[in-house]
Amino acid sequence: MTSAATSGAGSPGSPGTSPGPLRGRGAHVLAIAAIALMSLNLRPAANSLGAVIPAIREDLGLSATAAGILNATPGLCFVVFGLAAPTVGARLGVQRTLVLALIAMVTGQLIRVSVPAVGIVFAGSVTALAGMAMGNILLPGLVRTLFPRHVPAITGMYTACMLGGATAASGLTVPIGRGLDGDWRAGMGSWALLTVLALIPWIGMLVTTRTERRRQPTTTLRLRTLLRNRVAWSMALLFAMQSMQAYVVTGWLSQILVDAGMDLAVAGSAVAVFVAAGLPLATVIPPLARRERRIPVLIVSLGVSYLIGYTGLLLWPAQGAWAWAVVIGMGGGTFPLMLMMITLRARTLAGLTALSAFAQCIGYTMAMIGPFVFGILHDLSGAWTVPILTLMASVVVMVIAGLHAARPRMLEDAGGRSP
């Protein structure tokens, strides 16, 4: 993979790029519905898998190692297929690529529940997660292209939908399966219906939108030049540190609270509270970040929220578990802020797509290490103090990277354009 992005030159909406700003109320409504439904589907393929891993292990006889590999497939697919997304989107057109991504999600989710075989579960998961990874990378650029005057509002909407889909898949997969009098296959496979629903407006957009060409004029941002780009690295480090907070808290919060003497069911509910606390901020943060001078204040404030929550978790874990979960979840408002910043740090659609791919792929690669290191530190120290202090240190790194990324500079002006 030598290319991180290939797309049309010029600003979004200019001739030769993806479809320009929409015209007509019907086109706006159709596009908003398509983006919202796509966003709802950008997490269930992964989160529903994590929710039923114990049942899959028991049913298929998976070893702990094999289950660990299966659990790691979302992050790996984010990296591999995320890097390919800009090139595929440039060659086929962003809208066509997103339709194909949804088809891959439907196909993969149905394949992995159709045959009781380990290889089929892996193959179906990779297929579904490949489509999910493509959508993650390409959606921010399409939002700026279709809604250039409403980027904060649309970004807030699709971020909230994404988090809502993640929360629903984590919490409802098992109950849905039981409600259908089925096993883990019924619960996990049911999310394919949501993906089929998302296909309807996207196909409608393809039928009604004729401005997107199959092959775009090329202005290329190569991976090797992004590796020397300060804007790209500051965004990638910000993405990595924020994602690490989410991965660690989701994976370890319930165990920390159980070790502090809480009941497992109550401890598990704290994880749901952590996820839900970020939903309101998903709609508030992007509009606030529209003015550049507010971004450093937001970054510091969200970092402080993380630190307050971790301090409480360190000193009084059981006494205020839900309160700490809420405060830490509010720190997760950094996620929609990052998505908004990606749209502000590139002048061209090629740059925006390249930055989205680089920041998310490098960021997720680095973030996946977090939960493993957190567990190792606990084993070595025999307590949660050292791991939580280390997590607090990573918040400081996140804030520093965020302040660096908040400087009003563009990717194309920082050494990212190829000759």
Q: Is residue 264 part of a domain?
A: yes
pLDDT band at 11 (very low <50, low <70, confident <90, very high): very low
For 104-151, how does the pLDDT look when each residue is reduced to its tens digit (9 = 90+)? Answer: 999 999 999 998 788 999 999 999 999 999 999 999 889 988 888 888
Strand-strand pairing, 3-7 and 219-222: antiparallel
Domain co-membership, 321 together with 186: no
Structural domain total, the chain = 2
Domain co-membership, 241 together with 354: yes
CB atoms within 10 A of CB 317: 22
In this model, does residue 238 exceed pLDDT 90? yes
Domain co-membership, 278 together with 148: no
For 63-115, how does the pLDDT look when each residue is reduced to its tens digit (9 = 90+)? Answer: 877 877 787 788 888 888 988 888 898 888 889 999 999 999 999 999 999 98
Domain co-membership, 182 together with 268: no
Residue 299 CA to residue 401 CA, distance in Å, equals: 10
For 178-215, how does the pLDDT look when each residue is reduced to its tens digit (9 = 90+)? Answer: 888 778 899 899 999 999 999 999 999 888 765 444 44
Residue 266 CA to residue 269 CA, distance in Å, equals: 5
Domain co-membership, 97 together with 154: yes
Query: Which domain, by its residues, includes 267?
Result: 221-414
Domain-ending residue, one of 181, 215, 249? 215
Q: Based on the number of CB atoms within 10 Å of its own CB, is 408 exposed (0-12), middle (13-18) or buried (19 or more)?
A: exposed
